[in-house]
Amino acid sequence: MRHGLGEGFVSIVGAGPGDPELITVKALKAIRAADVILYDRLVNVELLTYGDSLAERIYCGKAPGRHAMTQDMIQRRMIDSALEGKRVVRLKGGDPFVFGRGGEEALALAARGIPYEVIPGITSAIGAAAASGIPLTHRGVAASFACVTGSRCPGAETGEDGEDGGSPAVQWELLAHAVDTLVIYMGVSQLKEIRSELLRHGKAASTPVALIESGTTRRQRTFTSTLGEVHKLAAAVQISNPALIVIGAAVLVRDQLAQLERQAASMIG
């Protein structure tokens, strides 16, 4: 354990999309060296077992309408612990700079002159899509992808992490045609509005869509549909957060892979 004023250090760490084995080696080293670990709601708690037995573990997760700690409280605890000379790990699901408010935390630390590092993690878009057999880019099908938050849809109040979606609103009129694959975080509760916006701006109703719930974990469920019908599917299967919406022709690769795997299995059998 570290002691003395001015010796503290903060690691803003991406824990990955849910599977604890997807954590980076550098992130594990930071967890093992930490005096204080502040962890979010979507962090796999198995990762906490890698910390020192004497390390303080502080839950600061946010769910819609239920915050264990406000963002200001989290940042104050990070700063105070670092000023006490402690090594602090701020452990966040996915990547800390992708809808993780890691940038805000880095700015707060920098403003106080506290040394810190940012350790990237596999963001949910990449991890969950890959675990579902959906390439975000695919030669001849998709040459670009974009990640966007669905919590800024018309009528949305909070995102998946319980935070206000804020402004400006997502420019669906541009996203409908600007990229080949669209990955939407925190959008399940606003799926009908997202669908309507994209259709209104010319996205074809036949566009393939995947819903991925609890990606990369043992609880993962993946369903495919079309933009015109996806809201009905989501209601039928009772999709819930954490979940991603993937929109674009690359979703069809999942079905192609499944068909080839069935063919290979039948040949072996």
> Would you name the residues annotated as active-site residues?
40, 62, 186
Is 88:9 a contact under the CB 8 Å cutoff? yes
- CA dihedral sign of residues 239, 244, 247, 249: negative
DSSP β-bridge partners for residue 159: none
In Å, how far from its chain's centre is CA 140? 27
In Å, how far from its chain's centre is CA 175? 19
Cα–Cα distance measured from residue 60 to residue 43, given in angstroms and rounded to the nearest whole number? 11
Is 89:36 a contact under the CB 8 Å cutoff? yes
Q: How many CB atoms lie within 10 A of CB 115?
A: 12
Residue (of 145, 155, 5, 24) closest to 86 by Cα position:
5
Cα–Cα distance measured from residue 243 to residue 149, given in angstroms and rounded to the nearest whole number? 12
Q: How far apart are the first and last CA of the chain?
A: 58
Query: Can you tell me which residue has the tokens 């309408």?
Result: 65
Q: Is it true that the peptide bond before 168 is cis, omega within 30 degrees of 0?
A: yes
Helices 230-237, 191-200: crossing angle, 10 deg rounding: 170
The 3-state DSSP composition of the chain as helix, strand, coil percent (nearest 5) reads 35, 25, 40
